[in-house]
Amino acid sequence: MKIIDLKNNTTVKAKDLAIERPTIDFALLNNQVAAILAEIKTDRDKAITKYTTQFDGVVLKEISVTQEEITTGIASLSIEIKQAIDIAARNIHLFHEAQKEPIKQIETMPGIVCWRKSVGIEKVGLYIPGGSAPLFSTILMLGIPASIAGCKEVVLCTPPNKDGSLHPAVLYAASVAGIEKIFKVGGVQAIGAMAYGTETIPKVYKIFGPGNQYVTTAKQLVLQEGVAIDMPAGPSEVCIIADNTANPSFIASDLLSQAEHGADSQVVLITWDEAIIPLVRIELDRQLNLISRKDIASKALQNSTIVLVDCKEDAIIVANNYAAEHLIINCLQPELIAENIVNAGSIFLGNYAAESIGDYASGTNHTLPTNGFAKAYSGVSLDSFVKKITHQYVSKEGIKGIAKTVITMANAEGLDAHANAVSIRVSND
Amino acid sequence: MKIIDLKNNTTVKAKDLAIERPTIDFALLNNQVAAILAEIKTDRDKAITKYTTQFDGVVLKEISVTQEEITTGIASLSIEIKQAIDIAARNIHLFHEAQKEPIKQIETMPGIVCWRKSVGIEKVGLYIPGGSAPLFSTILMLGIPASIAGCKEVVLCTPPNKDGSLHPAVLYAASVAGIEKIFKVGGVQAIGAMAYGTETIPKVYKIFGPGNQYVTTAKQLVLQEGVAIDMPAGPSEVCIIADNTANPSFIASDLLSQAEHGADSQVVLITWDEAIIPLVRIELDRQLNLISRKDIASKALQNSTIVLVDCKEDAIIVANNYAAEHLIINCLQPELIAENIVNAGSIFLGNYAAESIGDYASGTNHTLPTNGFAKAYSGVSLDSFVKKITHQYVSKEGIKGIAKTVITMANAEGLDAHANAVSIRVSND
């Protein structure tokens, strides 16, 4: 990790510090991905089968997962993992259930009543990347709010293993989240299938979930064709603000838990306590040797930065400019710092709030804005799975009270027919 | 308006009816718009001045609107328009203020507390198209929720008139919405300026507002570069469900108030009352002759459709498939139909709920999803101007209770360092 020292080097001010992020130019893949999408649009299941054979190295008899596979898979999963998934699911359910918005009718003027009603998006698609240890936790993070929102059709696509199976934890998490339509399709072909529909896989209105650069590019391309997506994607990242009360080994463990995600992950430590920096470095070296994804984490640390600032206020400025996906405030009275954070995906307060607790089980959602998108985007929540449809009821009294206002504004905008629609109702009386 | 008759022609079922929308291929303009954007990124104010001269036919001394211009402009506006804007602003404020979300702390397990906090997007940009009768109502619809959200910097761009001035109603609406940074820039150059920033115009994180196909293309292109936008755009549209209690002249007035927006607007009438159709046609012909935008509205009616269905249930199916931006339910007991609507931007209930009331003054937002996007998108609301940042506090007790769950899941996903970040904290005790 390189150090940016704003404490001793006073020529750069905190507000002007732009921490460089690893850049990925997704546009490079546009043509390649667009060609696959076009083929899926035309050839549908035939194209899915072709690319599953080509990219996943599996010839599947059946894209859909059968009830028998689900039952057998789930039976093979350890009780321990099942219990962990159950507890995580319970917490995720609790937190997202509380995001339900009751209908509030507002009578803005006598006889004019306005309200919003949240209605689940009818058809949503969830993409879960594959591999020997697939991210089944993401199934809970997407499937549970979809179920609370009342989405009628929830489609899950995830690539099969080499033997054509899915990991039992994927099947169990899907079952806990109430997902019934599971398809063994990965990569660009999964995104294309859900965007356009095939003979087997239903078309959806919104696609959620993480993925590699091909999947991300495919999501961007179908977005331009009118399919909604959860949010733009970039490499995962954590930022930690630490003071002298922080435990250097806890800090190092959090930095590494982010760094192990991928070589393009980024971790940032901001502190005004110069003394903690060498202690964190020692712990990083020590703990790095204990993890299986050491190579990946080492590469990510090369993209990463320690910022030594002059004071707490400057730490807040740097953190807000960076707009981290995950922000851990590992300080005394973390709430006083959190109050001043305006850009972050999710904030973890205190010495015990490891990012991984939120990643799996505290109840908050782990699908969060990366790459500085936290300046404008929220993470996934119940909101992401509903449309809030506005309603208005206008009575005879209501239109009388507002007629002059509407007619005046419509005329001033040169829209006669807008004015007429009101005057004709009032004069008809 | 052409008629689709599902009542007498029973070969097509309501659920299979896809009402064709006018199609616009924005991608055609991509290269042209991208070239202007690239020039703005490099040449900044110089490029803005160049394109304002070229497209708006004005040589401006100053892009920024001065306080003096605002004061003089507002003084010249009629009391009547000011009062109308004041009343509309009050209702819009009331409805959007009620969308504020109180912080709700959820203790998902003992010692694990999760909550969301809404924080205004710091920098937002509003685009308002110009012309002799500019859509100042949109300034209220975007500026008021931005102000309630606590957005710190709200930038308004709108093209100048031929004499270099702005319409006084624009200046007044901006002042009512508390917008202080107004720039005389239109079209692609406005979107580029707010996306990248220039010497004069601040860069923003999210851009809102309607526009022609060039503006829409520019918004799509900057979206791909990481600037958020309000929603994808398409031609405006209304759908009316009417029964035999509806007043044909009210129906016609609503159809025309949508049709006058643009030749590419679309209006749809769904009814199971065959007798009302000729009455609506007579009223359409009569009222069409009374409006100044007759030519535009006539063209829009050519894109438009009357659907005669067999029953109320089929009307609901057709309306949900169409997913209108505006849905007027002009029926007895409209709430019984509204209950079953799952796809719509905004719903207007009852005989007196003219769309134009919601367009201007009832309090609901008029920036709504068009083109079927209501299947996945909500209209603009307070939500559009905030990020909901999740927070979590974990105590020593909290981590003990959840440690096993997190460690088990992390290990099952092959993420050792995620497990370590918890175990190191628990074993340290």
- By mean pLDDT, which of A126-135, A180-189, A217-226, B18-27 is the weakest? B18-27
CA angle A205, A208, A210 (to 5 degrees): 150
For residues A28, A32, A38 and A42, what is the CA-based torsion angle, rounded to 10 degrees?
A: -170
Contact at CB, B376 and A345, closer than 8 angstroms:
no
Q: Of A69, A237, A283, A325, which one is the catalytic site residue? A: A325
Query: Quick check: A287 contacting B, CB < 8 Å?
Result: yes
What are the tens digits of pLDDT across the range A379-416? Answer: 999 999 999 999 999 999 999 999 999 999 999 999 99
Q: Compute the nearest-CA separation of A310 from chain B (Å).
A: 24
Q: Which residues of A touch B321 (CB under 8 A)?
A: none
What mean pLDDT comes out for the span B237-265?
96
Give me the percent of chain B exceeding a pLDDT of 70: 98
For all residues of chain A together, what is the average pLDDT? 95
What mean pLDDT comes out for the span A230-259?
95
Q: Which residues of A touch B249 (CB under 8 A)?
A: 424, 428
Residue A31 has pLDDT above 80, yes or no: yes
Q: Compute the nearest-CA separation of B101 from chain A (Å).
A: 9
- Asked whether A324 and A267 are in contact (CB, 8 A), the reply is no
What mean pLDDT comes out for the span A296-319?
95
Question: How far is residue B117 from each of residues A339, B103, B379, B385, B390, measured CA to CA in Å?
Answer: 10, 6, 21, 13, 6
Instruction: Name the residue among A95, A114, A376 with its Cβ closest to that of B108.
Output: A95
- pLDDT value, residue A130: 84
- pLDDT value, residue B294: 94
For all residues of chain B together, what is the average pLDDT? 95
Contact at CB, B114 and A134, closer than 8 angstroms:
no
Contact at CB, B360 and A104, closer than 8 angstroms:
no
- pLDDT value, residue A240: 98
Residue to mutate among A415, A428, A429, with most B CBs inside 10 A, is A415
Contact at CB, B352 and A425, closer than 8 angstroms:
yes
List the single residue in B with minimal CA-CA distance to A125: B376
What mean pLDDT comes out for the span B305-322?
97
What are the tens digits of pLDDT across the range B38-48? Answer: 999 999 999 99
What are the tens digits of pLDDT across the range B97-145? Answer: 999 999 999 999 999 999 999 999 999 999 999 866 788 999 999 999 9
Q: Which residues of A touch B406 (CB under 8 A)?
A: 84, 354, 356-357, 359-361
- pLDDT value, residue A26: 66
pLDDT tier, A132 (very low <50, low <70, confident <90, very high otherwise) = low
Contact at CB, B81 and A412, closer than 8 angstroms:
yes
Q: Is the ipTM of this complex over 0.90?
A: yes
- pLDDT value, residue B274: 96
- pLDDT value, residue A429: 60
Q: What are phi and psi of A377, to 5 degrees?
A: -115, 150
Q: Which residues of B touch A247 (CB under 8 A)?
A: 428
What mean pLDDT comes out for the span A279-284?
97
Q: Which residues of A touch B364 (CB under 8 A)?
A: 114, 390-392
For residues A294, A296, A297 and A300, what is the CA-based torsion angle, rounded to 10 degrees?
A: 160
pLDDT tier, B18 (very low <50, low <70, confident <90, very high otherwise) = confident
Contacts of B169 (CB under 8 A, 6+ apart): A412, B77, B81, B85, B134, B136
Q: How far apart are CA A190 and CA A159, in angstroms?
A: 8
Residue A227 has pLDDT above 80, yes or no: yes
Contact at CB, A417 and B374, closer than 8 angstroms:
no
Give me the percent of chain B exceeding a pLDDT of 90: 90
- pLDDT value, residue B9: 87
Residue B306 has pLDDT above 80, yes or no: yes
Query: Quick check: A77 contacting B, CB < 8 Å?
Result: no
What mean pLDDT comes out for the span A209-217?
93
Q: How far apart are CA A338 and CA A74, in angstroms?
A: 41
Q: Compute the nearest-CA separation of B348 from chain A (Å).
A: 5
Kindly list the structural domains of chain A, giving each domain's residue range(s) and its CATH number in brackets, ordered by start.
Answer: 2-21+235-363 (3.40.50.1980), 26-108+119-234 (3.40.50.1980), 395-427 (no CATH)
The residue behind tokens 């997962």 is A65
- pLDDT value, residue A239: 98
- pLDDT value, residue B26: 66
